[in-house]
Amino acid sequence: MIVVTGATGNIGRPLTRALAEAGEQVTAVSRHPAAVPEGVRHVVADLAEPAGLGPALAGAKSLFLLLSGDLHATGANPADIVGEAVDRGVRRVVLLSTLGVVTRPFGTTRVAMRALEDTVRESGLEWAVLRPGGFASNALWWAESVRTRRVVAAPFGDTGVPVVDPADIAAVAAACLLEDRHTGGAYELTGPEVITPRGQTEALAAALGSPVDFHELTLEEARDGMSRAMPAELADDTLDILGSPSPAEQRVSPDIERVLGRAPRTFADWAARNVDAFR
């Protein structure tokens, strides 16, 4: 049995489906009850309380570990989740980390994530670590303004990064959970090309078949909006990456193609599959 945390999110949903379709028994974990694919067991648990994960982990051979962005801010110790997995007899863990541990190793959440990577590596479990850059699904922040006013409002309209499709992250996670050859792998996951917010707006317009305007926010406007949705430090870090990505943050990684044997999906592909959120 494979336990998938973050099971109802952008990565977890396609991952849960892929594992179930591969014939695996799957336990999907999230804090809220949710519909899951037929045959999948759903368990309500909070990763901030690792001891409560016992019922989910009982009898599991593998764990996909995805922490929500704010878990580190709760004071919880994610290393305890790995300890709980070891105690319950889990043999393999695939950790969703972030490219930031390599490109910007000094922020609070990335220091904590690097420490968790170390915990996973030293756990005695078979392990793999996934380090994605910015997600294509971050464009869902624009869904309401596109639906209601056909406008994307974002800072740094002409500065881009190679955003990665969460479905590709899920596909790599499935490979790491199911195939032995990825043990000890640390994969940097990006999309196939650098795309700017203006370019993403054009792709959304093409998917919708109707024009969408781009309105460039000032840094202050963007910071105001983002710090209502996430801790201020994380908002500042994210804006730093979006406004001044380093060469390492703009690099297209070969790792998705190496693992999956095909190129990563484009943002246009993600937009076409998720267009209903913007209608």
Ligand X SMILES: NC(=O)c1ccc[n+]([C@@H]2O[C@H](COP(=O)([O-])OP(=O)(O)OC[C@H]3O[C@@H](n4cnc5c(N)ncnc54)[C@H](OP(=O)(O)O)[C@@H]3O)[C@@H](O)[C@H]2O)c1
Residues at the interface with ligand X (CB under 6 A): 5-12, 29-32, 46-48, 66-69, 71, 96, 98, 132, 134-135, 137-138, 166
Please list, residue by residue across 58-85, b when 16 or more beta carbons sit within 10 angstroms of its beta carbon and e when fewer do: eebebbbbbbeeebbeeebbbbbbbebb
* C-beta of 210 vs 232, nearer to ligand X: 232
Q: In a 10 Å sphere around its CB, with 0-12 CB exposed, 13-18 middle and 19+ buried, how is residue 86 labelled? A: middle
- Identify the residue whose tokens are 């490979």: 175
* C-beta of 49 vs 213, nearer to ligand X: 49
* C-beta of 150 vs 186, nearer to ligand X: 186
How far are the Cα atoms of 68, 178, 201, 251 from residue 271, in angstroms, in the given order?
A: 23, 28, 10, 22
* C-beta of 47 vs 94, nearer to ligand X: 47
Tell me which DSSP letter residue 264 carries: P
* C-beta of 44 vs 181, nearer to ligand X: 44
d(CA 125, CA 73): 26
Q: Tell me the Ramachandran region of residue 172: left when phi exceeds 0, alpha when psi lies from -120 to 50, beta otherwise.
A: alpha
* C-beta of 100 vs 185, nearer to ligand X: 100
Nearest approach in angstroms of CB 180 to ligand X is 25
d(CA 88, CA 3): 12
d(CA 49, CA 34): 20
* C-beta of 150 vs 231, nearer to ligand X: 231
Q: Which residue is nearest to ligand X (CB)?
A: 9
* C-beta of 166 vs 185, nearer to ligand X: 166
Q: What are phi and psi of 244, to 5 degrees?
A: -135, 65
Q: Measuring CA to CA, which residue among 174, 168, 188, 57 is closest to residue 117?
A: 188
Element (H, E) at 213: strand 213-216
How far are the Cα atoms of 61, 65, 66, 86, 101 from residue 97, in angstroms, in the given order?
A: 21, 9, 8, 19, 8
